[in-house]
Amino acid sequence: MKLKFFTLCAVLLLCSAPTFSQQIKGQIIDAKNSEPVAFATVQFDVDQGVVSNIEGYFALSSTELTAESILTISFMGYQTRNLTVKELQDLNNIVKLNESVNQLNTVYITNKLPRVDSIMARVNRNLKKNYPVSNVKHTLFSRETSFFNANNLVVDIEKSSNFSKKQLESSNRQFKELTEQIVNNPPTQTFTDALLHLYQKSDGNTKMEVEKATKLKDRKNSLSLETIQEKVTNIVLQHLDTTRTYKVKTGWFTVEDSMSLKKSKEEKKETDDNSFISLKSDNVNAINEHLFEKQSIMDFVLDSDIYDYQLTNVTTIDDQMVYLIKFEPRKNRAKFKGTMYVADTDYAILKVDYGFAEGKVGEKLNLKLLLGVKYVENVNKGTVIYKKNQENNSYYPYYINHESSQYVYAHRPFKFIENNEDSKNKVAFDATIEGNVVEKYELMSLDFKQLDTTIIDGVTEAKKVEYVQLKQYDPTIWKDYSIMEPLEELKKFKVEE
Q: What is the pLDDT of residues 398-437, one digit of tens each?
A: 999 999 999 988 887 777 777 666 656 677 777 788 889 8
Q: Would you state the pLDDT for residue 1? A: 42
Q: Is 332 helix (H, G, I), strand (E, B) or coil?
A: coil
pLDDT tens digits, one per residue of 376-395: 999 999 999 999 988 888 99
Residues 6+ apart with CB under 8 A from 286: 142, 397, 400, 402, 441, 443
pLDDT (0 to 100) of residue 372: 75
Give the HSE-up count for residue 397: Cα atoms under 13 Å, Cβ half-sphere: 28
pLDDT at 161 over 70: no
| pLDDT of amino acid 102 | 57
Write down the pLDDT at residue 383: 95
- Average pLDDT over every residue of 246-250: 66
Dihedral over Cα of 335, 341, 344, 348: its sign: negative
Predicted pLDDT at 190: 85
Q: Are 302 and 283 in contact (CB under 8 A)?
A: no
Task: Name which of 181-195, 331-345, 384-398 the model is least confident about.
Answer: 181-195
Distance CA(366)–CA(374), nearest Å, equals 4
pLDDT value of residue 336: 96
Closest CA to 426 of 255, 241, 214: 241
Mean pLDDT in residue range 140-156: 85
Q: How confident is the model at residue 348 (pLDDT cuts 50, 70, 90)?
A: very high
Q: CA-to-CA distance for 360 and 335, rounded, in angstroms?
A: 6
Q: Is the pLDDT assigned to residue 445 strictly greater than 60?
A: yes
Residue type, 337: K
Residue 20 pLDDT greater than 70, yes or no: no
Q: Is the pLDDT of residue 59 over 80?
A: yes
What pLDDT, on a 0 to 100 scale, did the predictor assign at position 175?
80
Report the pLDDT value the prediction gives residue 228, as an integer from 0 to 100: 72
Which stretch, 276-280, 350-354, 448-452, has highest mean pLDDT? 350-354
Alpha-carbon span 40 to 36, nearest angstrom: 10
Give me the chain's average pLDDT, please: 81
- Where does the pLDDT of residue 186 fall: very low under 50, low under 70, confident under 90, or very high at 90 and above? low
What's the whole-number mean pLDDT along residues 132-136? 86
Please report the pLDDT score of residue 417 as a whole number.
Answer: 72
- 457-466 pLDDT, tens digit each: 999 998 899 9
Q: Which domains, ranges and CATH numbers included, belong to the chain?
A: 13-101 (2.60.40.1120), 136-271+360-466 (no CATH)
Confidence of residue 12 (pLDDT cuts 50, 70, 90): very low
Confidence at 352, pLDDT banded by 50, 70, 90 = very high
User: What pLDDT sits at residue 109?
Assistant: 45
Specify the 3-state DSSP secondary structure of 196: strand
> 101: pLDDT confidence band, cut at 50, 70 and 90?
low
Tell me which of 233-247, 344-358, 443-457 is least confident.
Answer: 233-247
- pLDDT of 248 over the 80 cut: no
> In this predicted structure, which of 110-119, 168-177, 414-423 has the lowest mean pLDDT?
414-423
CB of 416 closer than 8 Å to CB of 240: yes
Range of weakest confidence among 327-331, 348-352, 369-373: 369-373
Please tell me the predicted confidence (pLDDT) of residue 387: 92
What is the per-residue pLDDT for 414?
A: 72
Distance CA 156, CA 137 (A): 53
What is the rounded average pLDDT of the residues 235-261?
Answer: 59
pLDDT value at 246 more than 70: no
Summarize pLDDT for 251-295 with one digit per residue, the tens: 544 444 444 444 444 444 444 556 899 899 999 999 999 988 877
* Cross-strand pairs, 207: 199
